[in-house]
């Protein structure tokens, strides 16, 4: 048996999954959170149903059924740092299973948000790689430091196996220069590493491969548009399995309207707010990243709440939904032009996988592009990969549930 432990670490929490790669089944997973606070919490789920990794159980120290074929265990205790957090995780495996002696991981795969232009593939972690990840924290101050803390803690917990970094930005390193270059002073751009890097690359790669497999067509023959629509959202144009354009830029702020992020905005707006409203740089950062998007337009950051309000005639919610869909449809048209022709459009992530209205309205009216949505297929509550376009649609429109943890595990094995 070949198991890989996947770790996704932030500054105050980390998620994990132990995946048996022979069958690509999840043996266990969980979430260690509130690290550094007065009281932390761990959630450990054995078997299937690892929603616990993103939706922790309620507080307490107990076991409960998470879903059919799985059991969830929660625990509250002080967790002062990531090293203690990993010990809490190891204790959960020892107490509740599965046994790490019987399912010893052959490697640990780490999600790292920003690899800059240095990392184009999964990379075995060395002291030099750790230094590079730390250096790249200047480009991702909210993400890379937490990933590095998780790497250090995991290496202490699993000192005898290789550790591999899988970078969100790596998939987009195939963007041509004309796609990743900003039209600003070239010397400044080079000095401060200003260019478009793109994000959600692990998800975009997984969905592009899964879409080709679902259709039974060679990946290298397909032009695809992948719509990763969650609280954070991005679009990717994929030609022959390679990313050639994506909506996020130097940071995850560029592109689509998101739950709390503005997406594309005229930079002059920031100058105006600074000069006329006296808003400082840090406040502008907070405004665009955490106080804009759907939340800024409606006071609601969740698409489900926005749609409910819009359906009830709430004006700001109706406008916000319209702005969101207008921007999304514009990117589909843009990438159609960049690719020249499109074989597949895939929806993924929380909104993309679960919201039929967003799927219908974002592609509605594009019949001239050969895109035809089947209303019945689109409205079906089915889960798993599925076709939602009509049989006579020139473009296959799919819903492909993303699985970033499995993609990280696959890439981790490929780096050994």
Res 220: pLDDT? 97
The set of residues, in sequence order, having a beta carbon less than 8 Å from that of 339 and lying 6+ positions away, is 223, 225, 237, 239, 244
State the catalytic residues. 168
Per the CB < 8 A criterion, the answer to whether 34 and 79 are in contact is: yes
pLDDT per residue of the chain (416 residues) written in tens, 0 to 9: 799 999 999 888 999 999 999 999 999 999 999 999 999 999 999 986 443 333 333 223 334 444 556 799 999 999 999 999 999 999 999 999 999 999 999 999 999 999 999 999 999 999 999 999 999 998 888 789 989 999 999 999 999 999 999 999 999 999 999 999 999 999 999 999 999 999 999 999 999 999 999 999 999 999 999 999 999 999 999 999 999 999 999 999 999 999 999 999 999 999 999 999 999 999 999 999 999 999 999 999 999 999 999 999 999 999 999 999 999 999 999 999 999 999 999 999 999 999 999 999 999 999 999 999 999 999 999 889 999 999 999 999 999 999 999 999 999 999 99
Asked if residue 387 and residue 267 are part of one domain, the reply reads yes
Asked if residue 259 and residue 142 are part of one domain, the reply reads no
The verdict on residue 245 lying in a domain is yes
The verdict on residue 395 lying in a domain is yes
Res 152: pLDDT? 94
Asked if residue 229 and residue 127 are part of one domain, the reply reads no
Asked if residue 32 and residue 108 are part of one domain, the reply reads yes
Asked if residue 9 and residue 156 are part of one domain, the reply reads yes
135 known member of a binding site? no
- The domain of 335 spans 218-399
8 known member of a binding site? yes
259 known member of a binding site? no
The verdict on residue 173 lying in a domain is no
Res 69: pLDDT? 64
- pTM score: 0.91
The domain spanning residue 30 has which CATH number?
A: 3.30.420.40
The set of residues, in sequence order, having a beta carbon less than 8 Å from that of 115 and lying 6+ positions away, is 123, 133, 136, 165, 167, 168, 169, 170
Helix, strand, coil share (%) of the chain residues, nearest 5: 40, 20, 35
Asked if residue 237 and residue 347 are part of one domain, the reply reads yes
Task: Give which of 258, 250, 205, 211 is closest to 234, Cα–Cα.
Answer: 258
Count structural domains, the chain: 2
Count of Cβ atoms closer than 10 Å to residue 49 Cβ: 17
Asked if residue 387 and residue 286 are part of one domain, the reply reads yes
Asked if residue 96 and residue 28 are part of one domain, the reply reads yes
The verdict on residue 294 lying in a domain is yes
Asked if residue 270 and residue 121 are part of one domain, the reply reads no
155 known member of a binding site? no
The verdict on residue 239 lying in a domain is yes
Asked if residue 100 and residue 233 are part of one domain, the reply reads no
185 known member of a binding site? no
The verdict on residue 254 lying in a domain is yes
Alpha carbon 92 to its chain centroid, in Å, reads: 26
Asked if residue 393 and residue 312 are part of one domain, the reply reads yes
Res 304: pLDDT? 95
The verdict on residue 313 lying in a domain is yes
Asked if residue 158 and residue 228 are part of one domain, the reply reads no
29 known member of a binding site? no
Domain boundary among the residues 167, 187, 205 is at 167
Tokens of 404: 């970033």
Give the Cα-Cα-Cα angle 104, 105, 110 (nearest 5 degrees): 155
The verdict on residue 96 lying in a domain is yes
């Amino acid at each position: 048996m070949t198991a890989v432990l996947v770790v996704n670490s932030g500054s105050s929490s980390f998620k994990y999954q132990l995946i048996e790669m022979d069958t690509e089944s999840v043996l266990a997973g969980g979430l260690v959170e509130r690290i550094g606070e007065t009281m932390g919490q761990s959630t450990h789920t054995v078997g299937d149903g690892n929603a616990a990794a993103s939706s922790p159980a309620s507080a307490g120290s107990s076991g409960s059924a998470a879903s059919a074929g799985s059991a969830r265990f929660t625990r509250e205790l002080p967790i002062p740092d990531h090293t203690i957090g990993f010990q809490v995780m190891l204790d959960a495996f020892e107490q509740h299973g599965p046994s790490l002696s019987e399912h010893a991981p052959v490697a640990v795969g780490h999600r790292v948000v920003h690899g800059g232009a240095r990392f184009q593939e999964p990379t075995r972690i060395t002291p030099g790689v750790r230094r590079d990840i730390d250096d790249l924290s200047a480009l991702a101050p909210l993400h890379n430091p937490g990933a590095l803390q998780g790497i250090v803690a995991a290496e202490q917990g699993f000192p005898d196996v290789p550790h591999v970094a899988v970078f969100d930005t790596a998939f987009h390193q195939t963007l041509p220069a004309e796609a990743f270059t900003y039209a600003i002073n070239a010397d400044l751009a080079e000095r401060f590493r200003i260019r478009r890097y793109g994000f959600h690359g692990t998800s975009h790669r997984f969905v592009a491969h899964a879409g080709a497999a679902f259709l039974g067509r060679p990946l290298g023959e397909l032009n695809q548009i992948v719509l990763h629509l969650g609280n954070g959202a991005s679009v990717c144009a994929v030609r022959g399995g390679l990313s050639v354009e994506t909506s996020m830029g130097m940071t995850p702020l560029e592109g689509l309207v998101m739950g709390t992020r503005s997406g594309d905005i005229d930079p002059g707006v920031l100058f105006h707010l600074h000069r006329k409203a006296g808003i400082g740089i840090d406040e502008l950062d907070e405004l665009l990243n955490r106080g804009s998007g759907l939340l800024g337009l409606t006071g609601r950051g969740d698409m489900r709440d926005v749609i409910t309000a819009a359906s009830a005639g709430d004006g700001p919610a109706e406008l916000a939904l319209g702005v969101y869909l207008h921007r999304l449809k514009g990117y589909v048209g843009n990438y159609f032009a960049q690719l020249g022709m499109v074989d597949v459009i895939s929806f993924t992530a929380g909104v993309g996988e679960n919201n039929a209205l967003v799927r219908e309205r974002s592609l509605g009216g594009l019949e001239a592009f050969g895109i035809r949505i089947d209303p019945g297929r689109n409205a079906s509550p089915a889960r798993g990969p599925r076709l939602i376009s009509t049989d006579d649609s020139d473009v296959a429109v799919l819903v492909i549930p993303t699985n970033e943890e499995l993609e990280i595990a696959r890439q981790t094995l490929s780096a050994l």
